[in-house]
Amino acid sequence: MSTLNDKVIVVTGGSQGFGLAIARALIAQGAKVGLISRSQKTLDKAVQALGAGAAFAAAADVADPAAVKQAVDAIAAHFGRIDGLVNNAGIARPDPLAEVSAADFNLMWGVNVGGVLWASQAVLPWLRKSDNPRIVTITSASARHDDEMSHLGIYASTKAAVERLMIELRQELLVDGIGVTSVSPGFAATDFAAGWDFAKLQRAAADWRKRSPEFFDGMTVDDIGAAVAHCFAYPRGVAVDFMEVRPIRPQIKPEF
C-alpha cells in the first residue's frame, strides 16, 4: 500500500462527526488535512484537537462555489499542495415527500450535490499536480436500502445523485490518473440529526419503528475514518470505485 506521509487531503464537513473521524484517520497515516466547514468555531476546536501542525481550517459554505474555491486555495497556500479531497459535507432535513418545503429541498441539493461538484472542481488544478491524486465522496446507505431512517427521501435522492456524479467524474478523470471513490456508510451514532425539528424527528422515528422494530447498530465514526484512509492508501493506478460499510448488530429502534 502507498504511504500518506506528507500528503495533503481536504475534508469538507471536517469539523465533527464522520469528517473529524476521517481527518484523524488520515493524520494517523501521516497525512496533513485541510478542513472546510461553515462554522469557524467548530473548525478551531477541530484543529486544536488534531494539532495545528497537521491540520489547517478554512470556513466556507460548500454550496457556494466561490467560497469553497477560496477555502481550497487557502489550504493549498498553507501546505503548498493538495493531493486529495474527501467530500463529506452533507445535510438532511426529515419530512414526508408530500410535505417537503422548497427551502429544505434546495438546501439539501445545494449542499449534498452542489457542494460535491464545487469542491471537486476547486481541487482539480491541484490534484493534477499530485503523484497519487484521489477524490473520495461520502454517500449514504439510504440511497439504496429501504431499511434506513424514514422521511429522508430527498436526502437519499441527493446521495443517489452523488453516486452517479462520481461514476461520471471517474470516467472523466481517468486520463488524469485521479482515483474517484464513493464510500457509503450505514448507521453510526453522530450529530447527524443536530438542528432537526424535534417533532419531525419523532414522527420519522415512529414511522421507522412501524416498518420494523429492529435496526442495525455497532458502527462508529472511526470505522468510516478507517475505511476512507484505506481508500487513499492504494498506489497510483489502483482505486476503490465503491465501498459500503454497514453495521451488522441488530438492536431495537430507539424512541424519541
Q: What CATH number does the domain containing 55 carry? A: 3.40.50.720
Task: Supply the DSSP string of 81-111, one letter for each residue.
Answer: ---EEEE---------GGG--HHHHHHHHII
**Residue 5, all three cell numbers:** 506521509
Q: 253 lies in a domain?
A: no
Say if CB 234 and CB 4 are below 8 A apart: no
Give the count of domains, the chain.
1
Which structural domain range is residue 63 located in?
8-244
Confidence of residue 219 (pLDDT cuts 50, 70, 90): confident
Q: 21 lies in a domain?
A: yes
Q: 250 lies in a domain?
A: no
Higher pLDDT, 187 or 66: 66
Q: Parallel, antiparallel, or unpaired for β 8-12 and 84-87?
A: parallel
- Strands, E, within the chain: which ranges? 8-12, 32-37, 55-59, 84-87, 134-138, 179-185, 214-217, 242-245, 249-252
What b/e sequence results for 175-206 when a residue is b if at least 16 CB atoms lie within 10 Å of its CB, and e otherwise? Answer: eebbbbbbbbbbbbebebeeeeeeebeebbbe
Q: 2 lies in a domain?
A: no
Paired residues of 180 in beta bridges: 135
Higher pLDDT, 215 or 51: 51
Paired residues of 137 in beta bridges: 87, 182
pLDDT tens-place string over residues 13-37:
999 999 999 999 999 999 999 999 9
Say if CB 74 and CB 80 are below 8 A apart: no
- This prediction has a pTM of 0.90
Q: 178 lies in a domain?
A: yes
Q: 3 lies in a domain?
A: no
Q: 182 lies in a domain?
A: yes
Q: 200 lies in a domain?
A: yes
Residues classed as catalytic: 155
Q: What are phi and psi of 84, to 5 degrees?
A: -165, 165
Mean pLDDT of 231-245: 96
Q: Rounded to whole angstroms, how far apart are CA atoms 231 and 139?
A: 14
